[in-house]
Amino acid sequence: MYATALIAEDEPLLAANLQAELARLWPELRIVASVGDGASALQQGLTLQPDLLFLDIRMPGMSGLEAAQALAEDWPDSGRPLPLLVFVTAYDEYALHAFERAALDYVLKPVQPERLAKTCARLQAALQAREQREQPQTGELALTPMIDQLRALFGAAAPRAAGLPDASTQNGAAQATAPLRMIQASAGNTITMIPVGDVLYFEAADKYVRVMTAEREHLIRTSLRELLVQLDPQQFWQIHRGTVVRADVIASASRDESGKLTLSLRGHPAKLSVSRLYADQFKGM
């Protein structure tokens, strides 16, 4: 059956081998682009909107898992389903169990033709089932199956599966005893000590994180990913790949006509968007 696919693999020889095997196993499959980093995978995925996306886990800059997360968050509300995802990985059994629990497909490096043939058969069956629906789904409903799979993956084992730091590897015993309590923010020759309990929300800003308190904004030189594993998950909720909010300052959550959620905060004018991957935290609203 005819379908389109995008390959994201930073090793040119492996990308070429995967494309050649796909051409042999699935002649009707058209590769619309082959890119070598996660940011390009996101950009081309949103532009070309392929049926399938083969994502290498570890790529320069944005990882394959981060690109999948960003794709799900930024996918337009056009009614076109998200691409079916296949992760290309050389990772251990722990990571593979994470993919299996989330019902996401994967192929191991180097790509084995027998395993790839099974993957192609499953993808063809999934695409055929999608086409045979009597009433095509639109809007958020069209995205629900893949969103649920990504939630399962990120909720289960995404940090280790992606090679990202987790509580056990990033902070060792310190993380096991207590979450972060104070943050140091430098500005010129001054270092400001900020109690974590005073922070309303954290927001990613290039190579920095914006730390917002009721009084002012601070910048710290770290990534939100590195900061997140040091925070108390009961106190701070991730609501977007670039935003973490203190739960007890959330005043309300409102949905617009398209179903998108926006949070209002107590005592602060900021309006924070909740992405699709994290909207299930507010099911009762």
> Environment class of residue 264 by beta-carbon count within 10 Å: exposed (0-12), middle (13-18) or buried (19+)?
middle
pLDDT by residue (tens digit) across 187-229? 889 999 999 999 999 999 988 999 999 999 999 999 998 999 9
**Residue listed under structure tokens 């924070």:** 272
Residue 160 CB partners (closer than 8 Å, separation 6+) = 94, 95, 98, 166, 169
- 156-165 confidence digits (pLDDT tens): 433 333 333 3
pLDDT digits (tens, 9 = 90+) for 131-155: 886 444 544 545 566 677 777 776 6
Instruction: Catalogue all structural domains in the chain, each as residue range(s) with its CATH number.
Output: 3-161 (3.40.50.2300), 170-282 (2.40.50.1020)
What average pLDDT score do residues 31-40 get?
Answer: 97
DSSP 188: T
Rounded to the nearest 10 degrees, the angle between the axes of helix 93-101 and helix 139-156 is 150
Mean pLDDT of 15-21: 96
- Can you give the pLDDT at residue 161? 34
